Structure 1
Amino acid sequence: MAETETETETKSVNSRMRQRPIVRLGFLLISQSVIVSVICCTAGVLALLLLPVLAKNTYISENALMPGSASSMLSHQEILEANKLVRDIASLSSKPSGAAVESRGLIAQYMSDLGAEVNYHKFHLRSNQFHPLHFFSGPGSEAIQDNFSCSLYGVNTVGIVRAPHGDGKEAIVLVTPYDSVRGGVGEALSLGIAYSVFSLLTRVTWLAKDIIWLVADSQYGEYAPVTAWLRDYHTPVFGDLGSLNTEMCDENENIFKLKENSIPERNISYTFRRAGTMAAALVLKVAYRNEHFEDTLSIYAEASNGQMPNLDLINIVNYLGVHRQGLHVKVEKLWSLLESKWLRILGEILESLGKLAKSLNPDWKFGISAPDYVEGTATLASSLYYQALGVPTGPHGAFRDYQVDAITLEISPKYSFNNKDRRNDFLLQGGRLIEGVIRSVNNLLEKFHQSFFLYLLTSPGKFVSVGVYMIAFALLVAPLPLVAASLYAESNDLNPALRKDKKPINSDDLGGLLKSWKWLNSAKRVFVVHLWGAIVSLLPYFISHICDCTPTTNFLIWISLSVLILLILHQILGSSYSHVCEIQSQEGEWALLKSVTISSVFIGLSLMSVINFATAEIGALLIVPTSLLAYPLKLDIKTRSLRSFSRMICNLILGVISFPPATFFLLKGVLDGFEGINAGDFWNWVESLWAWNSATYLYIGMVHLPCWVLCVHILLHSC
């Protein structure tokens, strides 16, 4: 018997001696989790601030695109015809009635005269209200409005040019939103630019892909007509679209049907016509802004849930716009950050460090000027924000739902639209830009795939790839599993830094740790709170149907019901938790709860990073420090030290900032000013998220808010 015990002890010693280095490193990191957390979180924030410095110049990855390699074929003849269309559209807009029908007929006639196949696409609006199951369904799952009327119908005009050397399997889409009721000169100019290119493409011999020109009826918004057309394009429809519900609109039949003698019937029909698989899509808009002193091209690329088109498509537009047409190309930025003093100071510091690095070694390319850093940060913040928001920034977002690369181009001339001498030059400039982009896409033998799909823009010519900006997120979430393991070991008296015998954890201790089931009570509490978060996420669906109130009232009802449901769930499902204090030590109780909470934060952020990386990045900046610093306030008050006082202040500040409504109002005040802010703004913002099926809404309700509640519970723990 004694020999058996001796052999067992010898084997235990040998097993401890044979521990692998990776296991020893893991135990070391767990025992020093506080230091590791401070280092990783600080490095993560610094890495995020250094992204504009680490941005690289954009480049064309696909050699077949060859932007600008061929001379433009667009001549003044096409521009004269386009200018005639603009004048005809403008004259119809001045008529008090019948302009909508006549403008559609006029556009169809111009298309038909070019030999294109023309058809009308009638669509009806679909409800854009919150429904839980829409988050898990594909595009086109919205329900038809129950109380529809003839006034809720629109008619798109579609023209198709068949490629002379193509097989009809691929197509390029050009979209021009046009409000036939309230259309202005800007929309007429966008039609003129599109028509000049469309006219050219009917005569060229190099075209290998079909060209689809969609004149979207934007009287009900720019997104709805594009979505409706794409839904019918990708869904087989049997029957004549021209007879769809027309029996209900006999009194307003002239809204949809044109006069028989107004257009030739040989190439025009109500039957839906298709071309090949879409290789790319361009949405063209023209807007006049007085603040511009040069012709400006704005690019909008963000789609739903942070989806971005292939970077090569943006690179083509940027190259042709700058080097061929002399346009000032820009992307959206947060203008309030351009006046930030602390950002300017940080830029000056980085500029000084860059000069110092260059003096030490001329080959080091770390430098960036302070103005470039400020502007790059403002652009990066805008790109990160709109990706995290999950709401498309233009009609191009409808194409990304069908995995079609698309962007919206908004051209702003420096001269007024009333300057007729400048109009022809503007039409020629815009037409040659669109021609060059279409010609580059036409050269592709396959879909865009060479360049990046996950990236952040710091300017039209600079980007940060996913391999760079994911470092900041990885550093922020890296301490979470270490701290969770350390707290779990601490609650079971297995933390080497806190054990009375100061012995390191061995395999026997680890085996005993894994056999402990004390964490189940904390896991139940965390599960209950996350169940509450799921219920809170569903409440707006019922509130919006039951209560027809103001946004402020809806927001207050939402908060009241959420608090009431949390109390009810605590009493029903969490009542057995009260006897835990009699079994466990008070310190071990909150430590276990914090350990499981941090684990849920890590899992939630990791899952969100797969769906929308920008949302996970911003969420990590808020919830990771809050969860790591969470500590019972009662214990800090008892300690009465500088460290405990500092931690208590940080916990109170982070607890307020990380609360979703408080975060929204704080950011809105910093960016737009605190004047005029009311509680209903948060309801309107959340309503826009669920209306667009943004996954950010699910993250806020089912990950961020429950974790915040658990952190507050730890702060208010009665230990």
Structure 2
Amino acid sequence: MAESEPPKPKPRPIVRIGLFLISHSLLVSVVCITAGLLALLLLPVLAKNTYISENALMPGSASPMLSTVDVSVANTFVNEITSLNLKSTSTDIEIPKLIAQRVADLGGEVSYNKFHPLLNKFHPLNFFSSPNPAAVQENYSCSSFGVNTVGIIRAPRGDGKEAIVLVTPYNTVNITLGEALSLGIAYSVFSLLTRVTWLAKDIVWLAADSQHGEYASVAAWLRDYHTPVFGGLGKLNTEMCHERNNPYEWKKTLTTATEMSDDFQRAGTIAAALVIKVADNSEEFEKDALSIYAEASNGQMPNLDLINVVNYLAVHRQGLQVKVEKLWSLLDSTWLKSLGDLFETLGKVARSLNRQWNFGIPVAEYVDGTATLASSLYNQALGVPTGPHGAFRDYQVDAVTIEMSPKAFSKYNGRQNEVLLRGGRLIEGVILSVNNLLEKFHQSFFLYLLTSPSRFVSVGVYMIAFALLVAPLPMVAASLYSDANKRNPSFEKGKLTSFPAAADEPAISFRSWKWLHAAKVVFVVHLWGVILTLLPYCIYQIPNLSPTTSLLTWVLLSMISLLILHLVLGSPFSLVDVSQPQGNEWALLKSVMITATFTGLCLMSVINFATAEIGALLVVPMCLMAAPLRLDLRVKNSRACARAASNLLLVFIGFPLVAFLVLIGALQGFDSISAGEFWNWMESLWKWNSATYIYLSWLASFYYFTSDDRDMRGCRCGAENLFICFCKP
């Protein structure tokens, strides 16, 4: 009797689970995407209250030392600045000299930081890198430079290895009352800190000349601060300028015995930085408000503890109303209020079943939290700093911009002392907390989204939505690849299908190499995406082009580059083995496309998680629903027509230009939008070296090509992002 064959070993449980998910990829995709969208909508409900992670900060543990005498002196300083602005025609000279004189009178070290504005233009070789310090304006004049005034207090209990920076941007040419008050707040705190004995970190006061931009002046000082230059910094080309325009001649006018060095003055490693601003507006508030701006380039955020300290001291010590940015258009959204009402009802039901289930928040809190969350997500995804603090984050320094908005601004004159006192004590408290730290901020979160000044969503929560959205991609790619091989009638396991084998050679399987044909198609689209990314650099060299003309030129050059690419490399579909059935060809192409999409989203999540989150919302449905349009039109049933309509709608809405115009129209009204605004928006992205620019450029990759006269004859294919292809006769 023949022996029975031994039973085949069962695969491991993890393998069986993987095979089950791949075989039911359609159901898994629907469940994951639905769960991902629900997780996004639940983020305001799942937000937690902020807390101080670093015990050494101890905000509010000491009584403020800033007295009314300091405020009175600061008020006199503000009045001197405003009087100079009214009387003098050379405030760009007199105000820096006045600040330097007051710092010298207090016993601080004084220096000037002269800088020329950098050329703020797109250059592909400088992307993701700091601007070249030598890239100053070529034809600058003696009046084109800016002068930052820097005062330094050496800590009596410190070793000079750490420092805290206070930044007060102001326009030296035409200073406003709000800027003068911000200088007064910094001066009052600086005056106090010259007398205290508990200071363990050096204090640097940077009065930044913002006539060329707030960010530019701060970035120039930081660039010089972290770049050693020998032979005296800032003397560049001063001999070409008149003495009146040479800041190093201004030191001769100081009436104190304090000597001001021509060399660049430095303190220790910067532990934290605060940008102080006072708003110049006429809005009426119930009480004095404080706005916090924290987003830096490419979605970088300061340590949450710094925001928590500012928020705690502002609310519980100074009685200020703390605000963060929000999308105001969402506050009146009917569907959002209905969704908040549903979550509130579910929360009441959950608490009736178990009082410990704290699910659900009031409708008003949910709507406000969603508007704040959407603004935080958008600002991080945009990758453009929301203030001068972004320059510090480029050097891994935790920094925020705080802007006071006093109530009844039109009746300001009678409340200057109150504004100076509240602002000064707030800054004093923050400096005292940071001064207590023995190391850099590290205890709290660096990846988070704010739903209010006192509530946040950590990365461990909001990454769940991203993971659920992208989870179907690898499963669908594996399922398509498996189905393509199963449906190939010309392929038989163990037999050579590409060319015959010799009689004495073993049969070889090339099943695993068939995806390379589809990979060539995807590679061509990626190559065209790179060309699209670099085209604006060429367009920017053409002078006197309007935004609309620049956008049309971009589109025209994109079509020309596609034609050249087609002539040089040939039709991508000519690279595909057309001897196999068309369904197999499409399945392999879609499998590789989805794999490339999944890889791109994961890589983008490392650079800017918010961009990857929003990108997953747009791209994943396109990838999963993509199907040949010609085949759907041939079937002519309701399911095929619905799928074809969905594909066309997703491709149209997901196209970056259309998506941008729809978003701006929904937020600001469709009467005030134009196609040129998209060029201006993209221009701001590349000037700030935002990774979102590259992402959107590849998202805009939409090309047409024709195949040879075989199975795909007469078919035109387009690709959207990473790269949804549909065909039509």
The interval holding the TM-score normalised by the smaller chain is: over 0.9
**Aligned to 2:241, what secondary structure does the other structure show?**
helix
Segments of structure 1 that go 5 or more residues without pairing to the other structure are: 500-510
Deviation of the 1:702 alpha carbon: 3.5
TM-fit CA distance, 1:193: 0.6
Q: CA separation of 1:112/1:252 partners in 2, compared to 1, >3 Å: closer, same or farther?
A: closer
Mapped partners of 1:54, 1:341: distance in 2: 21
Q: Give 1:612's match in structure 2, choosing from 608, 612, 624.
A: 608
**Which position in structure 1 is the counterpart of 2:444?**
451
Contact 1:525 1:574 in 2 (8 A): no
Stretch deviating more after TM superposition (93-102 or 513-522):
513-522
Distance apart, 1:242 and its partner CA:
4.8
Q: Aligned residue for 2:498? A: none
Secondary structure of the structure 2 residue equivalent to 1:235 = coil
How do 1:421-500 residues align onto structure 2 when only pairs under 5 Å count?
Answer: 421-493=414-486
Deviation string 1:37-88 (CA, Å, 9 cap, x unpaired) is 1110111111001000000000000000000000000001100100000000
Establish whether residue 194 from structure 1 lines up as the match of residue 203 from structure 2.
no
Report if aligned partners of 1:55, 1:458 keep a CA contact under 8 Å in 2: yes
C-alpha separation in 2, matches of 1:536 and 1:204: 58
Name the counterpart of 1:367. 360
Conserved 8 A contact 2:154-2:202: yes
Gaps (5+ residues) in structure 2? Answer: 492-506, 704-716
Preserved CA contact (<8 Å) 1:155 1:256: no
- The answer to whether the Cα contact below 8 Å between 1:101 and 1:254 also exists between their aligned partners in 2 is no
| 1:352 aligned residue | 345
Structure 1 CA distance for aligned equivalents of residues 257 and 212 of structure 2 = 28
Shift of 1:699: 1.5
Task: Name the counterpart of 2:155.
Answer: 163
Native 8 Å contact 1:491 1:587 kept in 2: yes
Q: Tell me if structure 1 keeps the 8 A contact 2:392–2:399.
A: yes
Write the distance in 2 (CA, Å) between the matches of 1:144 and 1:265.
35
Contact 1:590 1:714 (C-alpha < 8 Å) held by counterparts:
no
In the TM superposition, what is the alpha-carbon distance from 1:254 to its structure 2 partner?
A: 5.7
Q: CA deviation at 1:494?
A: 6.3
Cα pair 1:528 1:574 within 8 Å, conserved? no
Q: Which amino acid is the alignment partner of residue 719 of structure 2?
A: L
Shift of 1:484: 0.7
Structure 1 404/82 Cα, relative in aligned 2: closer, same or farther at 3 Å? same
- Asked if the contact 1:489/1:513 (under 8 Å) is kept, the reply is no
CA 1:438 to 1:562, structure 2 compared with 1: closer, same or farther past 3 Å? same
| Contact 1:330–1:459, Cα closer than 8 Å, also in 2 | yes
| Residue number in structure 1 paired with 2:114 | 122
1:397-412 equivalences under 5 Å are 397-412=390-405
Note closer, same or farther for the CA distance 1:298–1:576 as it changes in structure 2 (3 Å cut).
Answer: closer
1:469-618 equivalence runs, <5 A: 469-493=462-486, 515-575=511-571, 577-578=573-574, 580=576, 582-618=578-614
Tell me by how many angstroms 1:177 deviates.
0.4
Query: Is the counterpart of residue 70 in structure 1 residue 57 in structure 2?
Result: no
1:148 is paired with a residue whose SS is: coil
Alignment correspondent of 1:144: 136
Please say if 1:377 is aligned against 2:353.
no
Are the structure 2 counterparts of residues 23 and 675 from structure 1 closer, same or farther at C-alpha, using a change threshold of 3 Å?
same
Q: Specify which of 171, 179, 182 is matched with residue 179 of structure 1.
A: 171
> Could you tell me which residue of structure 1 aligns to residue 227 of structure 2?
235
Name the residue aligned to 1:710: 719
Residue number among 319, 327, 331 corresponding to 1:326 in the alignment: 319
d(CA) in 1 for partners of 2:569 and 2:234?
57
Task: Give the match for residue 19 of structure 1.
Answer: 11
**Structure 1 residue 256 displacement after superposition:** 6.6
Higher mean C-alpha deviation, range 135-144 or range 33-42 = 135-144
Q: Distance in 1 between matches of 2:562 and 2:101?
A: 63
Contact 2:176–2:280, Cα closer than 8 Å, also in 1: no
Shift in alpha-carbon separation, 1:628–1:141, aligned structure 2, 3 A? farther
Compute the displacement of 1:392 (Å).
0.3
Change (3 A) 1:133 1:263: farther
Alpha-carbon distance in structure 1 between the residues aligned to 2:109 and 2:702? 55
State percent identity of aligned pairs: 64
For 1:356 and 1:644, locate their aligned partners in 2 and report how far apart those are by CA, in whole Å.
41
Could you list the per-position Cα deviations for residues 577-636 of structure 1 after superposition, in whole angstroms to 9, with x for gaps in the alignment?
337463121111111111111111000000000000000000010011011100111222
Structure 2 CA distance for partners of 1:252 and 1:533, relative to 1, 3 Å: farther
1:706 is displaced (CA, Å) by 6.6
**Larger helix share, 1 or 2:** 1
Taking a change above 3 Å as real, the CA distance of residues 224 and 683 of structure 1, as seen in their structure-2 partners, is: same
SS state at 1:463 partner? strand
Alignment of 1:40-59 (within 5 A): 40-59=32-51
Give the residue type in structure 1 aligned to 2:181. Answer: L
| Preserved contact between residue 116 and residue 267 of structure 1 (Cα < 8 Å) | no
- Is 1:644–2:613 an aligned residue pair? no
Indicate whether 1:627 and 2:637 are aligned. Answer: no
| 2:66 and 2:425 in contact (8 A); partners too | yes
Q: Please give the root-mean-square deviation of Cα atoms over the aligned residues, in Å.
A: 2.3
Distance 1:469 1:551 in 2: 37
Q: Which moved more, 1:693-702 or 1:448-457?
A: 693-702
Residues 331 and 379 in structure 1, CA contact (< 8 A), matched pair in contact too: yes
Q: Distance in 2 between matches of 1:142 and 1:623?
A: 40
Match of 2:335 in 1: 342
Structure 1 residues 513 and 279, CA gap change in structure 2 (3 angstroms): farther
Give the Cα separation in 2 of the matches to 1:242 and 1:27.
66
What are the Cα deviations for residues 106-141 of structure 1, in whole angstroms up to 9, with x where unaligned? 111111110000101101111111111222424656
Q: CA deviation at 1:419?
A: 3.4
Matching residue of 1:503: none
The whole-number CA distance in structure 2 between the counterparts of 1:512 and 1:38 is: 39
Change (3 A) 1:337 1:82: same
Cross-structure match for 2:712: none
CA change 1:65–1:55 in 2 (3 A) is same
Equivalent-residue separation in structure 2 for 1:142 and 1:641 (angstroms): 65
Equivalences for residues 205-354 of structure 1 within 5 A: 205-250=197-242, 253=245, 257-258=249-250, 260-264=252-256, 266-289=258-281, 290-354=283-347
TM-score by length of structure 1 reads: 0.93
Query: Which residue identity is paired with 1:695?
Result: A
- Cα distance in structure 1, aligned partners of 2:626 and 2:719: 9
Q: CA deviation at 1:262?
A: 4.7
Q: TM-score scaled by structure 2?
A: 0.92
CA distance in 2, matches of 1:588, 1:600: 18
Bigger mean CA offset, 137-146 vs 511-520: 511-520
- Equivalence for 1:502: none
Give the letter aligned to residue 183 of structure 1. Answer: I
Cα shift at 1:360:
1.0
The one-letter code of the counterpart of 2:386 is T
* Partner SS state of residue 284, structure 1: strand
| Preserved CA contact (<8 Å) 1:128 1:142 | no
CA distance in 1, matches of 2:622, 2:143: 51
Per-residue deviation, 1:151: 2.5
Q: Does residue 674 of the first structure (1) align with residue 684 of the second (2)?
A: no
Cα separation, partners in 2 of 1:579 and 1:67, compared to 1, 3 Å: closer
